[in-house]
Structure 1
Amino acid sequence: MTIPADTPILTAAAMRAAEAACAGAGTSLAELMERAGVAVADLVWRMSAGAPVLVLCGPGNNGGDGYVAARLLAGRGAAVRVAALADPATDLAKAARAAWTGPVETLGEATAPAPLVVDALFGVGLSRPVDAGLAAVLRRFAGARVLAVDVPSGIDADAQHDWAPPLPADVTLALGALKPAHVLLPAAASCGAVRLAPIGIAAERAMRTLPVPAAVTPDAGAHKFTRGMVLVRSGPMPGAARLAAAAALRGGAGYVVLSGAEHAPFDAIIAEGRGRYDARLDDPRLGALVIGPGYPADDALDGDVAVALDAAKPLVLDAAAILSALPRLRVLERGAAPAILTPHEGEFAKAFPGLGGSKIERACAAAAATGAVVIHKGADTVIAAPDGRVVAAWPGSPWLATAGTGDVLAGACGAMLARGGDPFDAAVAAVGWHIARAVRKGPGLVADDLVRE
């Protein structure tokens, strides 16, 4: 499962609007279809390695892309067949079908498979699950390699519904931009390796995939406080706070204080008693406070969160601290200190009950409601800013599914936030740092490995 880095993501409606804008600027929709067909044909040519190819065409423009690809492949001498679900229903698809000079089989139980099957049946145009009869036909091709054009048939491109495709793809070629289904579970798991065909559409970048993590090197005049001072508040389970503090240090902070814990994971971290908490919050050099790791909901947590909100310092809120802070976060004035929230799915559901839509839409709604950056954690992590910017991080590392890794992410967020600048960029950098270290460690990872070299 691979995803192109720093790539635009568009919903189906946004994609149609981008295509219309492209046409309005002088590039016809027929030319866009030809470009899409060229991209599909090029990828099929590489994947097939001379083996026979079966192109499945639907009645819409996704089927039109399939007809164009089949024509181009036949022109190169490929052994290509076309099987259609129905006659073309759009002018573009009709023109593409007319330009294909080979036979067109009727897609059904009698359709013979091929080593490589191209799924150009529905793309982003599907508004319902594949019916049972067609699903049974498609399952007959399960032994072949499958290339899906835009999205596998039977998947909701916007990831609003958890429809299971009858024919998961080995490779999906996204046209013009990625779609939410490429980066959100469960749909993303059925897309295989995702490739992008840049067909000339100018896609907005408010929603995009995770960029390649970039190391931030301190400038020549840096000192420990310009690199960022982070305060991690420890609760009754100090191990989690120690992980967060270690991550803040490894994540680039120049000075880390672990408040309320007797021992720190590294000698370079200052461990001090709980009584110094208020004084530390008054320090003008403090760049970020991390609270929540290892701190269950109780009166002590509520008190510490309230003091932190009153201090108006940049905040990273994890676990129970999110719920504790929510009543105040919703009424903070514009210009208040930035905050990053890091809930996993269970914590998100408690904090923001009743939200509908895809994971991206829910994360955006939570960010808009709180004025905070929200990192909705999971195998498909979504980072959303109050202004509508979104980064989707899929795939991460399955080895992150172990206790304590969320505490490490909270500490990394503290380090990135303490540098100053845009809290959304800080959250994106922290997630990238977190995933990159997990991928590097791989099998057998435990949370401590993320902060030890």
Structure 2
Amino acid sequence: MPVPADALILTTAAMRAAEAACAASGISLAELMDRAGAAVADTAWRMAAGGPVLILCGPGNNGGDGYVAARLLAGRGAEVRLAALAEPATDLARAARARWDGPVEALTPETAPAPLVVDALFGVGLTRPIGNDLAALLRRFAGRRVLAVDVPSGVDGDGGHDWTPPLPADVTLALGALKPAHVLLPAAAHCGRVLLALIGIAAERAVRTATKPVLAAPAATAHKFNRGMVLVRAGPMPGAARLTAAAALRSGAGYVVLSGAADAPFDAIIAEDGTRFEERLDDARVGAVVAGPGYPVADALNRDVAAALDSGKPLVLDAAAIASALPRLRALGGAVPAILTPHEGEFAKAFPGLGGSKIGRAKAAAAEAGAVVIYKGADTVIAAPDGRVVAAWPGSPWLATAGTGDVLAGACGAMLARGGDAFDAAVAAVGWHIARARAIGRGLVADDLVADDLLKD
């Protein structure tokens, strides 16, 4: 039940619609609950390793999953206790409760803990934070191993609210599909290890997890120009653009030109006077242009971004180049393939006033800009104007250091220069970036990402 690559991510509303579609196709909601409860029982059985289990049941269907799991665990001979917050309030939960023939304790401050606590209290249906009294009660179980059913109780399943659960999970078992809370901070940090129980839910994969990154070998007929030629525009801080150019070459570009820098990080990169930038834009072999790294807001940046847009070349826009390009990008309506790579501060400046979860904000920004948006962070989200979204969780915390965004911009340039879909290019670049960071690990600095060939197929 580990989470596979390309896993489905559903909001609470989308999950309910998927469950309704299952029911319409002949798979009853009771059957889905039985499957979910069986998955919870299997996971708890492995986690408990023969020890006692305490299952905390809420009044809704999440609690119903807990009643099913308790019955199945008891049937295997496990020592199971069940503590309920309230009487079941749904038909499904009441039916599941009726099939449990053991005692049900009231969940109170006197409820004794167990080595494994299964949190089946609220799941994704919670619409407000847990009250102080219940939160204090649940915190009494801290320090025990905790298995959360779908999401830890007190977490907003859609990831739009920063609610801190009183009982973070060691393991969270996602039912049917991942939820935004499993891949977005701060909720994801409270979920522990996330497992996925495929109980028969099907839906359109508009939002998904990232696939495994693979840096494919060039074709037998490849040469340096058809592998992708990338033009990187250096600004007043050329070190950033040097990282970008090096990353473009490392991530598969066949030819890289660094315009406006005195020298290049590798001899294989062509460094030339910035006055030739517009001349280079007329080169039909250029497959992508990268602008923004190390280039603060100034008239020169605006001129270079405008020239790049006028060229019609596919673009990667980072840092201050994002806000500079946005008015024209909106007017172009997606006519120029573009990838924007804002971090949190740059995103807020470029797309003020957007609400909801990070996934929702990224989708809205991509639609507004007519461009692919890589909303960077430990919980990076990649969104396309047509509504496709990939969540690249987990990333690497070691990427939180200066210059790593410049490296990502270069990887985006290399992937985009090959031709094809800008969204696929962005997903590939983010995957390459995270894989490099994981290969390096502790003490990473941005230069390490382009220093040698770490990524293996």
How far off is 1:204 after superposition?
Answer: 1.9
Q: What is the one-letter code of the residue matched to 1:346?
A: G
Partners of 2:230 and 2:313 in 1: CA distance: 11
Q: Deviations over 1:249-286 (max 9, x none)?
A: 00100000000111000000000001111111001111
Q: Deviations over 1:104-158 (max 9, x none)?
A: 0000101000000000001111011111111111000001000000000001100
**1:394 and 1:93, CA in 2 relative to 1: closer, same or farther beyond 3 A?**
same
**Structure 1 residue aligned with 2:448:** 449
How far off is 1:333 after superposition?
Answer: 4.1
State whether residues 83 and 104 of structure 2, in contact with CA within 8 Å, keep that contact through their aligned partners in structure 1.
yes
Alignment map for 1:336-351 (pairs within 5 Å)? 336-351=335-350
Corresponding position: 1:381 with 2:380 = yes
**Structure 2 residue aligned with 1:8:** 8
**Structure 2 residue aligned with 1:395:** 394
Partners of 1:23 and 1:259 in 2: CA distance: 59
State whether residues 4 and 195 of structure 1, in contact with CA within 8 Å, keep that contact through their aligned partners in structure 2.
no
SS in 1 for 2:280: helix
State whether residues 249 and 414 of structure 2, in contact with CA within 8 Å, keep that contact through their aligned partners in structure 1.
yes
Partners of 1:287 and 1:310 in 2: CA distance: 15
**Structure 2 residue aligned with 1:419:** 418
Corresponding position: 1:214 with 2:214 = yes
**Structure 1 residue aligned with 2:125:** 125
How far off is 1:211 after superposition?
Answer: 1.1
**Structure 1 residue aligned with 2:329:** 329
How far off is 1:337 after superposition?
Answer: 2.1
**1:442 and 1:241, CA in 2 relative to 1: closer, same or farther beyond 3 A?**
same
Q: What is the one-letter code of the residue matched to 1:342?
A: T
Partners of 2:154 and 2:248 in 1: CA distance: 43
Partners of 2:153 and 2:175 in 1: CA distance: 15
Alignment map for 1:23-422 (pairs within 5 Å)? 23-334=23-334, 336-422=335-421
SS in 2 for 1:288: strand
**1:51 and 1:237, CA in 2 relative to 1: closer, same or farther beyond 3 A?**
same
Q: Deviations over 1:40-63 (max 9, x none)?
A: 000101000001000000000000
**1:76 and 1:357, CA in 2 relative to 1: closer, same or farther beyond 3 A?**
same
Q: What is the one-letter code of the residue matched to 2:249?
A: L
SS in 2 for 1:212: coil
Partners of 2:269 and 2:437 in 1: CA distance: 23
Gaps of 5+ in 1: none
Q: Deviations over 1:153-197 (max 9, x none)?
A: 001100111111000000000000000011111111000000000
SS in 2 for 1:66: helix
State whether residues 3 and 394 of structure 1, in contact with CA within 8 Å, keep that contact through their aligned partners in structure 2.
no
Q: What is the one-letter code of the residue matched to 2:395?
A: G
Partners of 1:160 and 1:239 in 2: CA distance: 37
SS in 2 for 1:141: coil
Query: Root-mean-square deviation (CA), in Å?
Result: 0.8
State whether residues 292 and 320 of structure 1, in contact with CA within 8 Å, keep that contact through their aligned partners in structure 2.
yes
Q: What is the one-letter code of the residue matched to 1:432?
A: G
Partners of 1:89 and 1:449 in 2: CA distance: 56
State whether residues 215 and 252 of structure 2, in contact with CA within 8 Å, keep that contact through their aligned partners in structure 1.
no
Partners of 1:48 and 1:272 in 2: CA distance: 64
Q: What is the one-letter code of the residue matched to 2:369?
A: T
How far off is 1:203 after superposition?
Answer: 2.6
SS in 1 for 2:257: strand
Partners of 1:233 and 1:3 in 2: CA distance: 39
Partners of 2:113 and 2:417 in 1: CA distance: 57
Q: What is the one-letter code of the residue matched to 1:77?
A: G
Partners of 2:348 and 2:214 in 1: CA distance: 32
**Structure 2 residue aligned with 1:436:** 435
SS in 2 for 1:388: coil
**Structure 1 residue aligned with 2:455:** none
How far off is 1:215 after superposition?
Answer: 2.2
Partners of 1:4 and 1:88 in 2: CA distance: 33
Partners of 1:297 and 1:143 in 2: CA distance: 50
Gaps of 5+ in 2: 453-457
Partners of 2:356 and 2:328 in 1: CA distance: 26
State whether residues 3 and 395 of structure 1, in contact with CA within 8 Å, keep that contact through their aligned partners in structure 2.
no
Identical aligned pairs, as a percentage? 80
Compare 215-224 and 74-83 and name the one that shifted more: 215-224
Partners of 1:3 and 1:32 in 2: CA distance: 19
SS in 2 for 1:174: strand
Q: What is the one-letter code of the residue matched to 1:59?
A: P
SS in 1 for 2:331: coil
How far off is 1:3 after superposition?
Answer: 5.4
Partners of 2:97 and 2:215 in 1: CA distance: 50
How far off is 1:223 after superposition?
Answer: 0.6
Compare 17-26 and 201-210 and name the one that shifted more: 201-210
Partners of 1:213 and 1:203 in 2: CA distance: 24
Q: What is the one-letter code of the residue matched to 2:352?
A: P
Q: What is the one-letter code of the residue matched to 1:265?
A: P
Partners of 1:197 and 1:153 in 2: CA distance: 18
Instruction: Give the paired residue count.
Output: 451
Q: What is the one-letter code of the residue matched to 2:451?
A: R
Q: Deviations over 1:67-93 (max 9, x none)?
A: 000000000000010000000011110
State whether residues 333 and 369 of structure 2, in contact with CA within 8 Å, keep that contact through their aligned partners in structure 1.
no
Using structure 2 for the length normalisation, give the TM-score: 0.98
State whether residues 232 and 241 of structure 1, in contact with CA within 8 Å, keep that contact through their aligned partners in structure 2.
yes
Q: What is the one-letter code of the residue matched to 1:37?
A: G
Partners of 2:383 and 2:232 in 1: CA distance: 23
Compare 159-168 and 3-12 and name the one that shifted more: 3-12
Partners of 1:100 and 1:133 in 2: CA distance: 28
State whether residues 215 and 251 of structure 2, in contact with CA within 8 Å, keep that contact through their aligned partners in structure 1.
no
Using structure 1 for the length normalisation, give the TM-score: 0.99
Partners of 2:365 and 2:49 in 1: CA distance: 48
